[in-house]
Amino acid sequence: MLSLVLKPWIATCGETRARLSAYLDGELEGRSLVRVRRHLARCKRCRALLDALVRTIEHVRSLGLAETRAAEPATVRAILERIEREREHPPGPTG
């Protein structure tokens, strides 16, 4: 009986899992936000899933930062010189 009374105010595990990305992105509003927050306050499994998702996002972001570093100027020059040489003298069919 209590679950029927609380249903409009607390999300289910399935609803919460389906909305975790939107929750993290700040896209939930109104009743949806309240329902998910209340569910997370009560459910250890969904909180653990949220924590794992946050850690995964942070890890992916840190990988992206490492990959976006600028190449060394000498490397850029060497690549551009090779492109220019290959334009002027394309390699044969074997490379």
pLDDT in tens, 9-31: 889 999 999 999 899 999 999 99
Distance (Å, whole) CA 36 – CA 16: 6
- The rounded mean pLDDT for the chain is 81
Query: What pLDDT score was predicted for residue 2?
Result: 45
Query: What pLDDT score was predicted for residue 75?
Result: 76
Distance (Å, whole) CA 11 – CA 35: 5
Distance (Å, whole) CA 9 – CA 11: 7
Please check the confidence at residue 71 and state whether its pLDDT lies above 80: no
State the pLDDT confidence band at 76, using cuts at 50, 70 and 90: confident
28: left (phi over 0), alpha (psi -120 to 50) or beta: beta
**The total number of residues written for the chain in this structure:** 95
